[in-house]
Chain A
């Protein structure tokens, strides 16, 4: 446990030791701010539903940039050899790295809580869908980060890791668009895989067991696969 935290701390501080983290934070928050302004200006509604939809879409592009280096960089620089010859279990390594990236993502998401304060100040928003909306985005980000870490564990090239996770995230995110093209029997499966289906429930205030299970089992699956990949040195 203490080693998991040591690795998480190292990963989190690594973000802040490179200018990339600050550039990403500033750029992404700026884009969010612009969309927030436009959406509120056009809708004239005290709700964050459309803002959440935009953020979710942006995370598809953002998260691979945060996670691509997690394993690929260590493998390329040889520090993986250091890490794996210390008495640290592969589970601690995977969990620590996941935790570090997920905390950074959470920080980014945390900064957008300001949007709630703004609409609370100027209107009477329905609070519950906002709470569940943030929860949904947080879980979804957790899944995206897990996917990003998995692809990073497959290669020593950060670019290859990012591209592979884009491919998987696009498939997962746009899965619902394929519904007209798949046989009838697979439609429920394809709909279930789509993150949009699940996030939509959260953003209208619904927390269902199926949605929670979807995200948590997705995260669990990716982390188990990452551990297997690390264990078997699949690179």
Chain B
């Protein structure tokens, strides 16, 4: 479903991604780990064709992302790290705008909007201005716009950041519901989170892909009980400098 071949990305002299390759099959849920600045967001932006790679190729549903960018964008739902909104729109207006841009036929728009409002538990706030809603609602509006066109591939950049435990649970269930229907690639810092959702783990460090394994395989290989242990082992915390 998603094939990444030797992707590199340079920002001036900085090498954000170095020769990354992997494949994700249909219906897989893949967790994407790495420290801040490891290159997770950059890779996600390349997959959504927001940024062009410096080198390498991305194929989604068999199509080259550079040649068929518009066709592929129709198949991708994307939740950016900081879900961007038009603050002066109501939730419904925003979803309607998203639906129009995502080629949803006018006659289906209402049904689709009602469905995602229901799925994301946004019905009560549908006519409120986005600017007035809390972070938890905004995150769910971000997910709603990502799934409104029923994309085959869902790319979620830290979908649970800034949410309270109840909201995290809701988002997790939402992602679980989508399982089997779609391919999901998500990044998060909350490791127990990813253990509950993802079947497969990609770990990225300083722009390099250092692990690509099933969750069970990874825990076994590293001799660890939790993902957190694996993560800390691969990214040892640097000795803290103590200033007195």
Contact = CB atoms under 8 A, between A and B. Distances in A.
Interface of A: 2-3, 6-7, 10, 14, 17-18, 77-89, 233
Contacts of A17: 88
A3 B99 CA distance: 10
B71 A82 contact: no
Contacts of B78: 85
Nearest to A84: B50
Contacts of A85: 48-50, 73, 76, 78, 80
A79 B78 CA distance: 12
A77 B76 CA distance: 22
Nearest to A2: B100
B85 A3 contact: no
Interface residues of B, number: 25
B14 interface: no
A82 to B, nearest CB: 5
A3 B84 contact: no
A233 B52 CA distance: 10
B88 A87 contact: no
Specify the main secondary structure of chain B where it touches its partner.
Answer: loop
A39 B165 CA distance: 68
B100 A87 contact: no
* Top 5 A-B residue pairs of the complex, sorted by shortest distance between their CB atoms: A78-B84, A6-B100, A86-B101, A87-B73, A79-B84
Specify the main secondary structure of chain A where it touches its partner.
Answer: helix
Interface in B68-115: 70-71, 73-74, 76, 78, 80, 82, 84-88, 97-98, 100-103
B70 A89 contact: yes
B86 A81 contact: no
B145 interface: yes
23 contacts: A3-B100, A3-B101, A6-B100, A10-B86, A14-B86, A14-B88, A17-B88, A18-B88, A77-B84, A77-B87, A79-B85, A81-B45, A81-B50, A82-B80, A82-B84, A85-B49, A85-B73, A85-B80, A86-B98, A87-B70, A87-B73, A87-B102, A87-B103
B71 A87 contact: yes
A81 B83 CA distance: 9
Contacts of B97: 6, 10
Nearest to A79: B84
A87 B100 CA distance: 10
A233 B78 CA distance: 19
B125 to A, nearest CB: 18
A199 B74 CA distance: 45
B106 to A, nearest CB: 8
Nearest to A78: B84
A80 to B, nearest CB: 8
Contacts of B145: 82
Given A85-B76, A233-B51, 13 more contacts: A2-B100, A6-B100, A6-B101, A77-B85, A77-B87, A81-B45, A82-B145, A85-B48, A85-B49, A85-B78, A87-B101, A88-B70, A89-B70
Contacts of B76: 85
Nearest to B101: A86
A234 to B, nearest CB: 14
